[in-house]
Structure 1
Amino acid sequence: MSNFSIFKNDNLMKLLSATLISQLGTQISFIALPLIAVTILHSSAFQVSVLNALDFLPFALFSLLIGAWVDKCNRRPIVIVSDVLRAMILLSVPVAIHFDMRSIWLLYIVVFAVGSFSVSFDVASETLLPTIIQKDELHSGNAALELSQSAAKIVGPSIAGGLILILSAPFAVIFDCISYMCSAAILLSLRVKEMRKGWPENVNTSKPSMVSEVREGMYFVLHHEFLKHFAIFSGLSNLGWSLIEGILMVYAVRTLHFGPGLIGIIFTISNIGLIAAASLSIIVLKLLPLGTTVIVSSMLQGVGIVFVSIASWYAPLLFMTLGLLLRSYGVVSYGINAVRIRQNITPDAMRGRVSATMRFISWSTIPIGSMVGGLLATGIGVPQAMDIGAILSVFAVIWIAVSPIRSIHMM
């Protein structure tokens, strides 16, 4: 590996800074929006689960088409416009509440719209990274990107809890709007030479070409020795976790009786796992083969989710915090290594489609899990719904543990 330093790469520093600021605001809204639904709108468990489902539904609806589109376009303008539009849309929440126009339907529309532009931002930003660093620097670059996101996830929940306690949840959302605008301003100064070949001129409509591009990305993933197992694991794991996450705030507030301040502290402590995983990723990779690291990371996710589900049985504060801590470490460690493998085996011309296909398969199960979680919580109870989500997550761990991924040593 080359002598890599993020401080020597001006473009990478800008991307990391934009990611840090944007994620900081996102973490605030992650807590603020569900709390608005639970505490201000007095929404039911099912209504809150729908909110989480709509956040990820755009990934199921649009990710494949956006992935094909990103491969034909310059990625920098996409991430900038996505940031600006997300800020403008989110601003409608505090404005509407200020004028007493509060409604769960407004939150549904806002979450879906913001999620839609998050698809374009996420796909474009991930495929932008390999264009600003060398191939042998991808692991360090991805680790630095995860470290930037993790830092925001550690600080964000505490800021959210403090803002909500001192001011209000709607006011906290304004900080997310500001963060998106700051991120866009930083990305505007990014200097990347991109030369996309554009859409073919010899066709009457873009639809046939788009369908062909989408099909090619899907085929590449589903027929690849490793990628198909990454996709299936992520889909199953996200199904189990989303069943839990969709009702997590209801679980924390109404079952475990945690207040906004304590919830913020719990997420802050648990998110230490994110920065630990990003910081230790290179050291761990020197001790364990790449495939083994992926398997162990997935196991930590599963154990963490099980701990969260049993928090209603015994020592709720301990198991909730420890469970989220283990899961956060596992998610980041898995993500860094899985993305490294994917970026190394995927041609540049297909990175957008492959990234989008992976997101489609992985995240299409999230709206389903969220809706099912809400229905189960309404029908059999919130704690019982959490247990079912944990069981599904364990099945996902078993799937990847017996897959060929365990044979990967280094890339």
Structure 2
Amino acid sequence: MPSDLRSRTAALVVTPDFARFWLGQALANLAGKSMTLLIPLVAVVSLNAGSTEVGLLNSAQFLPLLVFTLFAGAWLSGRAHRPTLITANTVNALLLALVPLAIVFHWLSIYLLYAVVFSIGAITCFADVCALAYAPVLVVGDRLVVANSRLETTYALATVAAPGLGGILLGSLGGPTSLTLGVVAYLFAVGAFLTIRHRSVPVAPAAGSGQGPGILRLIGQGLRFSWRVPLLRRLTLQAAWFNLFEQAVLTLYLVHAVRDLDFSPGLLGLTMTVGGAGSVLGSLFATRLGRSFGAARTLITGMGLASVAPLVIPLVSGPRLVTATVCTAAFVLYGLGLTVFNIFSLTARQRTTPDTLLAPASATNRFVAFGTIGIGAALGGWAGTWLGARTALLLATVALVAGWLVFTVSLVRSGSDGEGGRHEDPEAVPDAPLPVAAVADGV
């Protein structure tokens, strides 16, 4: 292989073990995100489920975030990452396999679907927190930004494109075959994780009795650390605010696009799917933006694009081609900005958090930031009913912009460089070195 091609390949994969981890995460995200639409569609097609059943099914997918995330972070503290990911994805494959089997043998019920999506959501809480803590084990130093950009790109693409893919598969292959492909994706993810050669020695949560602190104490430590460090607190609260109103925007856009802009379901899906290209652009330009503007300005710029771009959606009117083009462009800029923000936010949190608290602190962030998703969806639906989709959508986008302005002023006044590190912690020992993610004991 020519040297220049080798260097480009190395830059892409960062390290061989990270490439295996990245592949496993991409497959797991593809399987999980496609199920968010595929299983509700199966309920409608196979069980003639109504809006109430579908609403409960969607709620069951989000509820584990609030129930299990903090516990997952405490439980995973001090445990090896690779076995956890292998076990979690194996269990998810077995759980998902119950649905096509139930269809084939005619014992499918809405209650089985409730149980399956809730259980997969619970297991995924553990897998996601584990993955957040695993990346800085496999990649350290400056390459962590590049690694996080890879992970954020595949996650964003899975979030945008995989649900639509699930619907396409159901229409072309049928429910059992489509669901079986999800099972296969989970199993291939397990295979990718099995090939990771790196072994790490889990860092004990704390010195003392030999067993470390209990679950509740670890949860408390994660909450306290995330709150006492100003940069982490600002990033988490901004993410929670953004997710709250972002979900309201996405919920209202479905109604506004069909009723007010006269989009067909296919055109609506196209505007969002093509908009996913912004996530790819964000990953490509994130490192360059960070080098040119610094991490703090890059965080502000990324969140600004993600917050301001959707504002044009309730304001645009005119021929369908014009409105569709404007909406698509808005989603491109939104995806670009959000991916850039997420890359630098994740990197700052990983650099700032000690090994002993990485899992609990990551769980705290997910609990606060992702816990508002379900609330935002419900809030958007309620506001659309009472105010009309366009008016409610405008208010939700204005709320996004207001949150970004507050975040910008707060981050600038703090004087933080946005890079993350032990210097961000008021209780850290002066001049303490950045924490080493883990100690390798061989390959």
TM-score by length of 2: 0.79
Compute the displacement of 1:25 (Å).
2.7
> Is 1:304 equivalent to 2:309 in the alignment?
yes
Q: Deviations over 1:2-27 (max 9, x none)?
A: x9735462211101111222223334
1:93 positional shift = 3.7
How many equivalent pairs are there? 407
From 371, 374, 377, the counterpart of 2:378: 371
- Give the CA deviation at 1:374: 3.6
Compared CA separation, residues 239 and 152, structure 1 to 2 (3 A):
closer
Question: Are the equivalent residues in 1 in contact too, given 2:59–2:374 (CA < 8 A)?
Answer: yes
Kindly indicate whether the alpha-carbon contact (under 8 Å) linking 2:243 and 2:373 is maintained by their aligned counterparts in 1: yes
Map 1:5-404 onto structure 2 (within 5 A). 5-7=11-13, 9-36=15-42, 41=48, 43-44=50-51, 48-97=54-103, 105-150=111-156, 152=158, 156=162, 159-168=165-174, 171-196=177-202, 209-246=214-251, 261-309=266-314, 315=320, 316-404=323-411
Q: CA deviation at 1:97?
A: 4.7
Kept after mapping to 2: 8 A contact 1:53/1:367: yes
Identify the range of structure 1 (296-305 vs 356-365) with the bigger mean alpha-carbon deviation: 296-305
Bigger shift: residues 193-202 or 17-26: 193-202
Structure 1 314/337 Cα, relative in aligned 2: closer, same or farther at 3 Å?
A: farther
Cα distance change on mapping 1:99 and 1:395 into 2, 3 Å? farther
My pick for the range that moved more, 190-199 or 12-21, is 190-199
> What corresponds to 2:439 in structure 1?
none
Q: After the TM superposition, which of the residue ranges 224-233 and 363-372 deviates more from structure 2?
A: 363-372
Contact 2:14–2:143 (CA under 8 A) maintained in structure 1: no
Task: Flag the 1:121–1:273 CA change in 2: closer, same or farther, 3 A.
Answer: same
CA distance in 2, matches of 1:209, 1:129: 25
Structure 1 contact 239–389 (Cα < 8 Å) conserved = no
* Aligned partner letter, 1:334: F
Distance 1:410 1:201 in 2: 31
In structure 2, distance between residues paired with 1:273 and 1:169? 31
Q: Secondary structure at the match of 1:403?
A: helix
Q: Deviations over 1:218-238 (max 9, x none)?
A: 111111121111111111111
1:179-237 deviations in whole A, cap 9, x for unaligned?
A: 1111011102212322225688987999x721111111111111112111111111111
Q: CA deviation at 1:341?
A: 1.0
Q: 1:374 to 1:138 in 2, by over 3 A?
A: same
Q: Residue 433 of structure 2 corresponds to which residue in structure 1? A: none
CA distance in 2 between counterparts of 1:304 and 1:104 reads 38
2-side partners of 1:185 and 1:170: how far apart?
Answer: 23
Distance 1:383 1:49, change over 3 A: farther
CA contact (8 A) 1:53 1:368 kept: no
For residues 155 and 246 of structure 1, do their structure 2 counterparts lie closer, same or farther at Cα, with a shift above 3 Å needed?
A: closer
Contact 2:86 2:190 in 1 (8 A): yes
Larger radius of gyration: 2
Q: How many Å separate the matches in 2 of 1:105 and 1:247?
A: 28
Question: For residue 63 of structure 1, what is the amino acid of its counterpart?
Answer: T
Q: Distance in 1 between matches of 2:405 and 2:306?
A: 12
Distance 2:111 2:390 in 1: 26
Identity %: 25
Note the C-alpha offset of 1:392: 3.1
Q: Which region of structure 1 is more displaced relative to structure 2, 373-382 or 282-291?
A: 373-382
Q: Residue type of the partner of 1:216?
A: Q
Counterpart contact for 1:130–1:138, Cα < 8 Å: yes
Q: CA 1:49–1:223 in structure 2 vs 1: closer, same or farther (change >3 Å)? A: farther
Change (3 A) 1:151 1:103: same
**Separation of aligned partners in 2, 1:387 and 1:50:** 27
In the alignment, the residues of structure 1 paired with residue 417 and residue 249 of structure 2 have an alpha-carbon distance, to the nearest angstrom, of 33
Q: Secondary structure at the match of 2:50?
A: coil
Over 3 Å counting, the alpha-carbon distance change for 1:152 and 1:243 in structure 2 is: closer
Moved more, 216-225 or 167-176: 167-176
For residues 265 and 39 of structure 2, the distance between their equivalents in structure 1, rounded to whole angstroms, comes to 12
Aligned to 1:73, what secondary structure does the other structure show? coil
How big is the shift at 1:98?
A: 5.1
Q: Does the CA-based 8 Å contact 1:131-1:192 persist in structure 2?
A: no
Q: Deviations over 1:238-284 (max 9, x none)?
A: 11122344566566667766556545533331110111101111111
- Cα 1:101–1:28 shift into 2, 3 Å: same
Q: 1:16–1:295: structure 2 CA closer, same or farther, 3 Å change rule? A: same
Q: Which one-letter code corresponds to 1:328 in the other structure?
A: G
Q: Name the structure, 1 or 2, with higher relative contact order (CA <8 Å, separation 6+).
A: 1
**How far apart, in 1, do the equivalents of 2:140 and 2:208 lie?**
35
Structure 1, unmatched stretches of 5+, are: none
Match of 1:72, SS state, is coil
Rounded Cα–Cα distance in structure 2 between residues aligned with 1:169 and 1:246: 25
Match of 2:427 in 1: none
The alignment partner of 1:190 has SS state of coil
